[in-house]
Structure 1
């Protein structure tokens, strides 16, 4: 017999340990969360850039919950197993003024819509990306009182944007308040490591998660496990990589992405906003070297197989 899975529809904006729990769950329980896209439903599959420009940012990045985990106490770790996703079929990628790795160089709003299924995202007629769903924002309430933004990642989770938290992965979150007060949102159909323009292929999904506790773990920050089946496959057509080098990792990452945008324009004739967005959804930033002072090296890897 298939067990009944309780579904969480309620969402909220920001982390706050004074919020009333939406539901209680015992260790071992599985819950489903009907997650809105990062726009909070402000964008549809028929939206234009005007809709993005009119964003109400107080309604962005809603998270479903909070869920009170019975028996969770400060010092424990909440174990969250990612079981499955039911994809929504379409998603959006946007350049939002003032947001992203190269925000000063892309000041105007820009919107791109994609269709996808369980196997692939049709980013453009010529660019096809593997679908790898995950939750961008996932965490528990911090001990500090008051309302805290969902935008930055935190010691207790939050907007982690770890693309490997896909089916079969397990996340461990430090618990700071009784019951943990778990919430999740910001589902993505795919993303490159770094999410450099500030958005991935943003989409609504239903997420199934199973919860348990590790008592007295005292983790200082989130940890996670990824099974071999959850790792991104090695691109059989290889990669093209650009680099950024300097004493500041952030600026080195910027330089690596600037060089990749240049490559995408020269080699594939992509205009700069589309190239920048493609970097966000398909290019992986890697710290290649951080020990040979005074300069560090960041590489940006582009999988060649995404081009048709």
Structure 2
């Protein structure tokens, strides 16, 4: 076993997409471990707290009229003309990687073990021991067209604080209503429509003493983690799919194991969208978006060895914790294959929890019948009395439902 370090820099991150053609930032073998740094794409909501003084973050977020450290920001083209900015197709998340796995081939399954997760502390002396994150009630949120207070519509950014010494709670510091921002290239952003735009705090009004009696339990996890799909060279980071991606499940944290079907040689694993806390559904549009560092272990399961194991026939992401197994249902299990040439744009027009629930049911039924050798009738009965289905997220274009079966329902004797 070898332990690798993958820090953030303009050469080790890619912004807003998964890709099978990007040069890997790291190549390792099955059984190796890696410490991987990740940055939140919302750090510029408060530059002073989340970027200033941090060499890695400053290098990635550097954007002036003369120089843009990370040009492509989404699955779109790098050549203009542009309306919102280069790479403006779709996709927003800062991802670290890709990490190539030696010997990985389509049909294999990659197991990713999350050994530890740590917050990335603020670097300014006045914020010593603190970590900050941003929660955005955004235009893509489930609530956006159902507001009851004025002004309507509005996008609101709430900045949260965590204690990096181990305090397991986040507390709100202040919030503000998004005001139109002009980026270094002179493009005006009336809404939050392009990742990495720096908010000029002279243009906003901070509202302090908010949520004064609320402490949010920390759930450090990675919202976006997975492998490169095979269908396109550049695939938006927003909709989750059969190789993982933006699943947004707070359970994907320390101690969890994620299993992904390999779609391309090398697997091409990427991770980002780090969160300090999130509830099921991620209703307003984001979690507490913060920067985290994770310790990971990678285990490659070859296709020839999958028979008779819980990974037999696995064609979708699956989570294992100490207590349970979870599968993920989506409106479209593989939207890239199902929706054709314009899939990355069209998927957001068809979001459905009904379809996601049915997909989760079918995947958990397959798991129980294949892994636990149940008949269909037995599996359906157990799902009704012993499984839990919940709304994972309703903000990522391809909506998600997770189906969870607890391990203690199975006898070990």
Classify the TM-score, shorter chain: 0.5 to 0.7
Q: In structure 1, what is the Cα distance between the partners aligned to 2:228 and 2:221?
A: 20
Structure 2 unaligned runs (5+)?
50-83, 121-130, 148-152, 173-210, 307-312, 327-351, 355-388, 392-413
Contact 2:45-2:157 at 8 Å conserved across structures: no
**Quick one: distance in 2 between partners of 1:132 and 1:211?**
22
TM-score under structure 1 normalisation? Answer: 0.68
The match for 1:205 among 284, 292, 297 is 292
In 1: Cα distance, 2:269 partner to 2:44 partner = 24
**Deviation larger for 149-158 or 10-19:** 10-19
Correspondence 1:11-90 to 2 at 5 A: 11-13=13-15, 14-39=17-42, 41-44=43-46, 46=48, 58=88, 60-88=92-120, 89-90=131-132
Seen in structure 2, the aligned counterparts of structure 1 residues 111 and 46 have a Cα distance that, compared at 3 Å, is farther
Aligned to 1:5: 4
1:243 matched to which residue of 2?
none
Tell me which of 95, 99, 114 is aligned to 2:137.
95
For 1:228 and 1:131, locate their aligned partners in 2 and report how far apart those are by CA, in whole Å: 19
> What's the C-alpha RMSD, in Å, of the aligned pairs?
2.9
Please tell me whether the aligned partners of residues 138 and 183 of structure 1 are also in contact (alpha carbons under 8 angstroms): yes
1:219 pairs with one of 314, 325, 330 = 314
Is 1:177 aligned to 2:268, yes or no? no
Is the contact made by 1:8 and 1:31 (CA closer than 8 Å) also made in structure 2?
no
Q: 1:3 to 1:19 in 2, by over 3 A?
A: closer
More strand by share: 1
Distance 2:2 2:301 in 1: 24
Tell me the alpha carbon deviations over residues 208-240 of structure 1, each in whole angstroms, 9 at most, x when there is no partner: 1110111114411001101249x9xxxxxxxxx
> How much does 1:43 deviate?
2.3
Q: SS state of the match for residue 22, structure 2?
A: coil
Structure with max Cα Rg: 2
Q: How does 1:69-148 map to 2 (within 5 A)?
A: 69-88=101-120, 89-97=131-139, 99-106=140-147, 107-117=153-163, 118=166, 119-123=168-172, 124-148=211-235
Residue 255 of structure 1 aligns with which residue?
A: none
Query: Which residue matches 2:400?
Result: none
SS of 1:105's partner is: coil
* Aligned counterpart in structure 2 of residue 190 of structure 1, from 266, 273, 277: 277
Would you say the 8 A contact 2:118–2:220 is kept in 1?
no
> Which string of whole-angstrom CA distances, capped at 9 and with x for unpartnered residues, describes residues 25-79 of structure 1?
111111122111132x4222658xxxxxxx9795831110001101111000100
Q: Distance in 2 between matches of 1:45 and 1:130?
A: 24
Pair 4,68 (structure 1): closer, same or farther in 2 beyond 3 Å: closer
> Aligned partners of 2:161, 2:44: CA distance in 1, in Å?
18
| TM-score between the two structures when normalised by the length of structure 2 | 0.51
- Determine helix, strand or coil for the equivalent of 2:289: coil
SS in 1 for 2:288: coil
How many matched pairs? 229
Where structure 1 has 5 or more consecutive residues not aligned to the other structure, the ranges are: 48-54, 232-247, 251-284, 288-308
C-alpha distance after superposition, 1:144-198 (max 9, x if no partner): 1321100010100000101111110000011000000000000001100111111
- Give the conservation status (yes or no) of the 8 Å contact 1:96–1:110: yes
